Amino acid sequence: MIRQFELLEQVKAYDPGADEDALNRAYVFAMKAHGVQKRASGDPYFSHPLEVAGILTKYKLDSASIVTALLHDTIEDTPATLEDIEHHFGKEVARLVNGVTKLTRIELQSDHATQAENFRKLVLAMSEDIRVLLVKLADRLHNMRTLHHIEEPEKRRRIATETMDIYAPLAERIGMQEMKNELEDLAFAEINPDVRDSILARLDFLRKQGGDLVARIITQLGATLAEAGIKAAVVGREKTPYSVWRKMWHQEVGFERLSDIMGFRVIVDSVEECYRTLGVVHSAYAVVPDRFKDYISTPKPNGYRSLHTGVFGPERQRIEMQIRTREMHEVAEHGVAAHWIYKQGAGRTDGRQYRWIRELLDILETAAGPEEFLEHTKLEMFRDQVFCFTPRGDLINLPRGATAVDFAYAVHSEVGDNCVGAKINGRMMPLRTQLGNGDQVEIITSKAQTPSPTWERFVVTGKARSRIRRFIRSKERDQYVQLGRAILDRAFREEGYEFSNKALEGVLKVFKMGDADDLCADVGAGHHTGRDVVEAVFPGTRKKKGKDEKVVPLASARTRKAKKKGKGAAIPIKGLIPGMAMHFAMCCYPLPGDRIVGIVTTGKGVTIHTIDCETLESQAETPERWLDVAWEMDSDSLDVHVARVYLTVLNEPGSLGNLSTVIAKNEGNISNLKITERSREFFDMVIDIEVRDVKHLTNIIAALRATPVINSVERARG
Ligand code: MN
């Protein structure tokens, strides 16, 4: 607790003419009035007005303001009356104390719905005398500094939210940057402690990693300016956790390097030096476009003046700079309080003096105004979301309830498909673990892992769900194949035949199937009965047996049968249709060995697709265009064919070299390479490789999959 004489000394240090007598009497009056009242911390209540007065001495406010600070809670919380105050301290102090008391009452009845209206009252109340607001802000600042002593979480949260929504923007409006930063950060710590902690941890990490980077940049900047004959103080300043968070949220700032969250400030002696400094900096370093702002010739409404610019500065780091005079700096930190009033000796403002108050009132007169003004600092809006970080500090924003699997899919589809575990804040946790705000999540992947159907039960994001479902569908096919094979096996045995894939080969075209597995899957899915197939393989079988076999084929089975009508026999690609143009589809890039189909396109001849090419779906309604084709596999052709492959490669030095080495070693030749997406972690790319046939490609893909920097490899499927 500040002692009486200490407070006096602090005031007299900047205001030798301060009213010592009034300060002493106010100290004693407040101490007596609050008596044995206690704060939530257990401290005597009087420590609070005293601390508030102490905060205001930092802003060098006049005696009347300091006296008001000491007395600010006496009317509301003690038997003292406004008349008592006026009697002992005069009209000016009484008016100020009354103003602060009014604000306190507005605050006490504050609830969310009427916030905008309260804000209006606040502005009106403070427009009578700016010192009312200064005392109120100091009051709020001390309450925020001691917020953790309040036991009820609801109350803490309400106060923090109100601080974020009303008091921090007000402090900013009157240019009290320092005050605004501290208020915001204290509120942030209450509203979103986990995110704040994780940002602090990240800052700490970056500081360690950066070594003395900041010091080196300061030294070099200083040297550059000194060479040009400019006397300047260069300081580095770190953004507060809250402003880092907000910038990340708006994606204005990366969080990879210290320079992303560091700013530099150059303080010089005169306005002229500011512009000279700008010139020197701009000629010494490459300028970041669109970062230059001249708030000296056009000050902000709150009186803020500075030059802002961004350069690729010393150490090849992108840095942001503010250039200003000492006086501008004082105003920038302390705002209204800096050029104010105790110097001029006049406390009262009539509203004409403060353009910003008029502007605020104007805004408040228009319907959308208050909300608009309050909008940008609302954390409440984000309550249904959680913010997590990758180990590199990238922000991943997920709906509440999201799990480690959602996180993995949010990072990258392949990471999701291959995730086997998650380290949350450094500890291995189950994949179904729900994530909390600020969790740092590291996903462990294995190429052997595939999505599990059980994941579908706990994921909450659409992306994760659709990827998992897609995988399950392809898995289902495998099951249909097995089931179909079992059905066929029985159907064949019933007729005294032995079932084998080979036995189906002759009828694949009849069923329009690429291979025996496809046919088995179709049988497994119920599109054909086992007997349908037996009948096709051994015509006449059905006549012997089976009125009981009248299984009604499903609709898709009918269309399939319809398709095969009117179709010719298989034509090998070689000598396909004499005189007809043939080319390979640029969607699926068929290779010798692939199961293929030809699509007749008017005027374009025949396009060869792989049987599983996804574009074939669009041809389902025009079976007359389908041609059964096959490769001439007997010749050991030396022809090369182009295959297209999608890859996801870790974004790290040497990974692309690694990739091309693996392909070359396996006798493939990259004919084209395109990076389709580049994130901090991965490259997504498409490469075209010249290969002999599908076996050759399969070998290359296998080799790529075995390469650690390659996260996934997938052949184009149309
Ligand atoms: Mn108070």
Q: What is the Å distance from ligand 1's center to 64 Cα? A: 17
Q: What is the Å distance from ligand 1's center to 137 Cα? A: 10
**Residues in contact with 338: Cβ distance below 8 Å, sequence separation at least 6, in sequence order:** 59, 175, 330, 331
Q: What is the Å distance from ligand 1's center to 73 Cα? A: 5
Q: For residue 197, what are the CA distances in angstroms to 20, 95, 242, 400, 429? A: 44, 42, 11, 19, 20
The tens digit of pLDDT for each residue in 548-593 reads 333 323 223 333 333 333 333 333 454 455 445 677 888 888 888 8
Residue 70's identity, in one-letter code, is L
The pLDDT score that the predictor gives to residue 560 is 32
- Rounded average pLDDT over 5-10: 91
pLDDT band at 222 (very low <50, low <70, confident <90, very high): very high
Query: With 50 as the cut, is the pLDDT of residue 195 above it?
Result: yes
The tens digit of pLDDT for each residue in 72-84 reads 999 988 999 999 9
Q: What is the Å distance from ligand 1's center to 502 Cα? A: 90
Query: With 90 as the cut, is the pLDDT of residue 232 above it?
Result: yes
Q: Which of 15, 43, 76, 515 is catalytic?
A: 76
Query: With 70 as the cut, is the pLDDT of residue 132 above it?
Result: yes
Is residue 636 part of the annotated active site? The answer reads no
Q: What is the Å distance from ligand 1's center to 78 Cα? A: 12
Rounded Cα distance between 607 and 518, Å, is 22
Rounded Cα distance between 404 and 407, Å, is 5
The pLDDT score that the predictor gives to residue 544 is 46
The pLDDT score that the predictor gives to residue 20 is 92
Query: With 90 as the cut, is the pLDDT of residue 369 above it?
Result: no
Q: What is the Å distance from ligand 1's center to 76 Cα? A: 9
The pLDDT score that the predictor gives to residue 556 is 30
Higher pLDDT, 379 or 660: 660
The tens digit of pLDDT for each residue in 611-627 reads 888 888 888 777 767 77
Tokens, residue 605: 């001849």
Q: What is the Å distance from ligand 1's center to 47 Cα? A: 10
* Residue 559, number of CB atoms within 10 A of its CB: 15
Beta bridge partners of 419: 445
Angle (CA) 391 396 398, round 5°: 135
pLDDT band at 650 (very low <50, low <70, confident <90, very high): confident
The pLDDT score that the predictor gives to residue 72 is 95
Rounded Cα distance between 290 and 309, Å, is 8
The pLDDT score that the predictor gives to residue 139 is 95
Q: What is the Å distance from ligand 1's center to 517 Cα? A: 79
Rounded Cα distance between 703 and 718, Å, is 23
Q: What is the Å distance from ligand 1's center to 357 Cα? A: 24
Tokens, residue 353: 């003096």
pLDDT band at 376 (very low <50, low <70, confident <90, very high): very low
Is residue 20 part of the annotated active site? The answer reads no
Across all residues in the chain, what is the average pLDDT?
Answer: 78
Q: Which domains, and CATH codes, for the chain?
A: 4-191 (1.10.3210.10), 209-341 (3.30.460.10), 353-470 (3.10.20.30), 472-630 (no CATH), 641-715 (3.30.70.260)
- Rounded average pLDDT over 477-490: 79
What percent of the chain lies above the pLDDT cut of 90? Answer: 23
Q: Which of 19, 43, 62, 77 is catalytic?
A: 77
The pLDDT score that the predictor gives to residue 107 is 64
- Rounded average pLDDT over 12-40: 91
Q: Cα-flanking dihedrals φ and ψ of residue 424, to 5°?
A: -105, 120
Higher pLDDT, 502 or 84: 84
- Asked if 515 and 595 count as a contact pair (C-beta separation under 8 A), the reply is yes
The pLDDT score that the predictor gives to residue 267 is 96
- Please report, in angstroms and rounded to a whole number, the separation of the first and last CA atoms in the chain: 75
Query: With 60 as the cut, is the pLDDT of residue 365 above it?
Result: no
- Rounded average pLDDT over 196-210: 81
Q: What is the Å distance from ligand 1's center to 398 Cα? A: 39
Q: Which long-range contacts (CB under 8 A, 24 or more apart) does 146-155 make?
A: 146/39, 146/40, 146/41, 146/48, 147/186, 147/190, 149/39, 149/40, 149/41, 149/42, 150/40, 151/40
C-alpha closest to that of 422 among 410, 433, 409, 438: 433
pLDDT band at 71 (very low <50, low <70, confident <90, very high): very high
The pLDDT score that the predictor gives to residue 52 is 96
Q: What is the Å distance from ligand 1's center to 13 Cα? A: 25
The tens digit of pLDDT for each residue in 37-50 reads 999 888 999 999 99
Q: What is the Å distance from ligand 1's center to 49 Cα? A: 6
The answer to whether the pTM exceeds 0.75 is no
Rounded Cα distance between 285 and 318, Å, is 10
What percent of the chain lies above the pLDDT cut of 70? Answer: 79
pLDDT band at 302 (very low <50, low <70, confident <90, very high): low
